[in-house]
Amino acid sequence: AQSVAQPEDQVNVAEGNPLTVKCTYSVSGNPYLFWYVQYPNRGLQFLLKYITGDNLVKGSYGFEAEFNKSQTSFHLKKPSALVSDSALYFCAVRDPMDSSYKLIFGSGTRLLVRP
Amino acid sequence: DAGVTQSPTHLIKTRGQQVTLRCSPKSGHDTVSWYQQALGQGPQFIFQYYEEEERQRGNFPDRFSGHQFPNYSSELNVNALLLGDSALYLCASSFPSGSLYEQYFGPGTRLTVT
């Protein structure tokens, strides 16, 4: 069965420091991987995706993620955190063999960037 | 270009009632998916509509049903509401044959069942 794990409920980082939000997945075959961000009382906003190709994917707002097939991970990173990055982050996986293209989400990680 | 829109924003219903939520996809998108996000959890897939038919369904009871109209907009209906149906309901749309494309989410409808 497909699954996504976000092992940290919350990540705390000081503004200006690098941040990492962790994600591991379990999918048979080659997965499609996504990161979304959710601000309070808002829907999910797409940040970036990995389909194929370069393992380092660059996305919106300076975020990037590294796909590691051997570790089945897709960690979200940013070199210098901003207070405005504070939000709820979701990792999601899609099985490319699934005709519905449904997303399987992790439980989310709350990022808190302190000034 | 309008993104995905949902209505209403908030809704309060009593246990046992029925509710209808509405979604208009992003322009050019023909596939609509519905997700339920309970408090403190990630979204869970309810079902997806493509060409006015339900393409796949998640692990949700038959009380949850949907419809897609010729203009690609969609409705989610929930019958015999339970307290546990209280959640944020998210609609997402994607491009035709969207296997390589991300899904775009609406702002959601917050349903409270009392």
Beta strands in chain B (DSSP E): 5-7, 10-13, 19-24, 31-37, 44-50, 53-57, 64-68, 74-78, 87-94, 104-105, 109-113
pLDDT digits (tens, 9 = 90+) for B41-50: 999 999 999 8
Q: How many Cα atoms occupy the beta-carbon half-sphere of A46 within 13 Å?
A: 19
Over residues B11-34, the mean pLDDT reads 95
B100 contacts A90? CB cut-off 8 A: no
Question: What is the b/e burial string over B73-100, where b = at least 16 CB atoms within 10 angstroms of the residue's CB?
Answer: bbbbebeebeeebbbbbbbbbbbeebee
SS3 label, residue A62 = helix
- C-alpha distance from A2 to closest chain B C-alpha (Å): 13
**CA distance readout (Å), A111 to A97, B44, B108:** 32, 21, 21
- Residue of chain A whose alpha carbon sits nearest to that of B9: A41
- Residue of chain A whose alpha carbon sits nearest to that of B91: A43
At residue B39, does pLDDT exceed 70?
A: yes
Q: How many CB pairs below 8 Å do chains A and B form together?
A: 68
Q: Which residues of chain A carry a pLDDT beneath 70? A: none
Query: What pLDDT, on a 0 to 100 scale, did the predictor assign at position B96?
Result: 65
Query: What pLDDT, on a 0 to 100 scale, did the predictor assign at position A23?
Result: 98
At residue B22, does pLDDT exceed 70?
A: yes
At residue B1, does pLDDT exceed 80?
A: no
pLDDT digits (tens, 9 = 90+) for B59-98: 999 999 999 999 999 999 999 999 999 999 999 998 866 5
- C-alpha distance from A35 to closest chain B C-alpha (Å): 10
